[in-house]
């Protein structure tokens, strides 16, 4: 009787372990599928004028890690993550890209309502910058190191501490 209980308990733990491995494998497979179109390696060059009227270019960030963050005004997940992006932007350079979100005036009104008008934001209504980076869904984040290489890519929500850790890593382990 005692041996049967031990055997059943061992079997139950084995089943739970196998289920956990399956879930982990599915999560990694989903992440790989979501990121399949995103560029890797050297970050595509860009130069644009921000909503504030400033010139913004990849070359301006040489020597420091920064985050390129694609979002949209119609994206509920993007809204959910805005507080985290604010926390990251308080410590690290962040360039945001308003993807298919309307003309500059519409985006400015949206950002004023959300309290994000201080973000360095580029308008990408035609999706040209998104195409360069292989973005097909938002939110999407790229961590780019001081040499202009993409070090990390993320589709979907990401925690602010996770993004800050990736930026710190990119800055210190270039």
List all residues 6 or more positions away from 147 whose beta carbon is below 8 Å from its beta carbon: 62, 174
d(CA 42, CA 90): 26
Give the pLDDT score at 127.
95
Mean confidence (pLDDT) of the chain: 94
pLDDT of 61-74, one tens digit each? 999 999 999 999 99
pLDDT of 132-143, one tens digit each? 999 999 999 999
| Structure tokens, 137 | 């869904």
Overall size of the chain counted in residues: 174
How crowded is residue 159: how many other Cβ atoms within 10 Å of its Cβ?
A: 12
pLDDT value at 1 more than 60? no
**Residue 85: what are its φ and ψ, rounded to 5°?**
-65, -40
| Structure tokens, 162 | 């996770």
In which band, very low, low, confident or very high, does the pLDDT at 8 lie, cut at 50, 70 and 90? Answer: confident
| Structure tokens, 155 | 């589709």
DSSP class of residue 60?
A: G
pTM for the model stands at 0.87
């Amino acid at each position: 009787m005692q041996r049967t209980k031990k055997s059943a308990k061992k079997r139950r733990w084995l089943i739970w372990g196998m289920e956990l491995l399956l879930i982990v494998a599915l999560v990694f497979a989903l992440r790989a599928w979501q990121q399949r179109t995103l560029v890797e390696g050297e970050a595509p060059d860009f130069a644009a004028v921000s909503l504030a009227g400033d010139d913004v270019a990849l070359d301006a960030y040489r020597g420091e890690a920064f985050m390129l963050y694609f979002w949209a005004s119609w994206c509920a997940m993007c809204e959910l993550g805005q507080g985290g992006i604010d926390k990251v932007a308080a410590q690290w350079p962040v360039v945001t890209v308003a993807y298919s979100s309307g003309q500059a005036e519409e985006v400015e009104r949206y950002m004023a309502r959300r309290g994000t008008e201080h973000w360095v934001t580029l308008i990408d209504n035609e999706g040209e910058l998104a195409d360069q980076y292989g973005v097909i869904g938002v939110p999407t984040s790229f961590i780019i190191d001081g040499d202009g290489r993409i070090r990390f890519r993320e589709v979907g929500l990401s925690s602010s501490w996770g993004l800050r850790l990736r930026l710190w890593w990119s800055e210190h382990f270039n």
